[in-house]
Amino acid sequence: FPTERGLTAHAFYYSPRNQDHEAPAGEKPPLVVHCHGGPTGSAGPTYPFEYQYWTSRGFALVDVNYGGSSGYGRAYRQRLNGNWGVVDVDDCINAARHLVEQGLVDGDRVSITGGSAGGFTVLLSLTRREFYNAGASHYGIGDLELFVKETHKFESRYCEALVGPYPERADVYRERSAIHYADNMKCPVILFQGAEDKIVPPDQAETFVEACRQKHLPYAYVLFEGEQHGFRQDKNIRRAFEGELSFLAQVFGFEPADDIEPVKIENR
C-alpha cells in the first residue's frame, strides 16, 4: 500500500470469517489495525488464534509491517532509524486508510492495537494523529524518557538508533512520548498491563491513565497481578481478549455474542 514520501509499505489483511454467521448485506466490517512489537520485528503470513478471535467475531484485521520491520531488505529496515514514532504511526494509518478507500472496511469503526513497542505506536497514534475511533495498548510505552531510564540493561541502548542519543536529544524523546499529548486524544483507549513487568513497568500505563483521569478523557485500565511483559496465565490472556472486545463493543455500538464480563470505560 502507498505511504508517506511516495514509498510503499506492507501488511497482511484478514477479512471476517465465521462458518455460522454472516454480516448484514452491505455492511462493511470494523477494522482492527495490529501493530507488531519489536519494533524491528515483523508480521508473517500466518493466521494465529489471536487474529481468528477477531475475524470470527466480524472484524477485519490488518497486520502491518511498517517501515523498519524485518524481512524486506536493509533499506526498508532502516526506515525506522531515527523515526520510531513517525514511520510506524504513518504506515499503520495508511494501511487502514488504503482498506477504507478500497471499500473493504468501515472507516468509522477503526481501532489500533499492539503490545510493547506496538503499544507505543498505539498511544502515539491516538495522541498525535486524528484518525482512529478507538485504541488498545498492551503493556505499551507512553513515556520514552522514562523507558530509557527504567528498562532492563539488554535494551537500554536500543533507542539510540531508533530515536537518537539520550539525553542529548531529550527534545525528540519528549516529542515522541504520548504522555505529553494525552489531551489531544479524540477517542477512547484501553490499557492492559502486567503488575510485575520489568521491561515496560506499570508506571508507564499508570501515568497515562492518570493523565486521562485528570483531563477527563475516556479510558479503561486492566492491571494483571503476577504478570510480566506479555501475559502468561490463561485466565489473563482470555480476559485481555474479552476485555478488548467488550471495550470495542461499547465504543462501536454493538452487542457481543460472547457472554463476557464488560470493562468499565471511565469518563464516557
For residues 68 and 83, the answer to whether their CB atoms sit within 8 Å is: yes
Q: Crossing angle, helix 87-101 and helix 117-128, to 10 degrees?
A: 70
Predicted confidence band of residue 154 (pLDDT cuts 50, 70, 90): low
Give the pLDDT score at 88: 98
pLDDT digits (tens, 9 = 90+) for 204-259: 899 999 999 999 999 999 999 989 888 888 999 999 999 999 999 999 999 998 89
pLDDT digits (tens, 9 = 90+) for 64-90: 999 999 999 999 999 999 999 999 999
For residues 188 and 134, the answer to whether their CB atoms sit within 8 Å is: yes
Give the pLDDT score at 134: 98
Predicted confidence band of residue 117 (pLDDT cuts 50, 70, 90): very high
Read off the pLDDT of each residue in 260-268 and give the average, rounded to a whole number. 94
pLDDT of residue 28 exceeding 70, the answer is yes
Q: Among residues of the chain, what percentage have pLDDT more than 70? A: 98
Predicted confidence band of residue 156 (pLDDT cuts 50, 70, 90): low
d(C-alpha 27, C-alpha 43), whole Å: 28
pLDDT digits (tens, 9 = 90+) for 106-116: 999 999 999 99
Give the pLDDT score at 201: 87
pTM: predicted TM-score of the whole model, two decimal places: 0.95
d(C-alpha 171, C-alpha 213), whole Å: 25
Length of the chain: 268
Q: Which CATH class is domain 4-252?
A: alpha beta
Query: What are the DSSP calls for 101-140, one per residue?
Result: HTTSS-TTSEEEEEETHHHHHHHHHHHH-S--SEEEEES-
Q: Which H/E stretch holds residue 14?
A: strand 10-14
Q: Where are the domains of the chain?
A: 4-252
d(C-alpha 88, C-alpha 94), whole Å: 10
d(C-alpha 67, C-alpha 80), whole Å: 6
Give the pLDDT score at 21: 86
Read off the pLDDT of each residue in 194-200 and give the average, rounded to a whole number. 89
Distances in Å between the Cα of 230 and the Cα atoms of 1, 72, 192 are: 30, 26, 10
Read off the pLDDT of each residue in 138-157 and give the average, rounded to a whole number. 81
How far from each other are the two terminal CA atoms of the chain, in whole angstroms?
Answer: 35
Query: What grid cell was written down for 18?
Result: 465465521
Give the pLDDT score at 115: 95
Dihedral sign, CA of 184, 145, 213, 131? positive
Mention every residue, 6+ apart, whose C-beta is less than 8 A from residue 60: 13, 14, 15, 16, 29, 30, 31, 32, 99, 104, 105
Give the pLDDT score at 152: 61
- By DSSP bridging, strand 110-115 and strand 189-194 are unpaired
Q: Give the angle subtended at the CA of 162 by the CAs of 160 and 167, to the nearest 5°.
A: 35
Give the pLDDT score at 209: 94
d(C-alpha 62, C-alpha 75), whole Å: 23
Give the pLDDT score at 58: 96
Give the pLDDT score at 19: 87
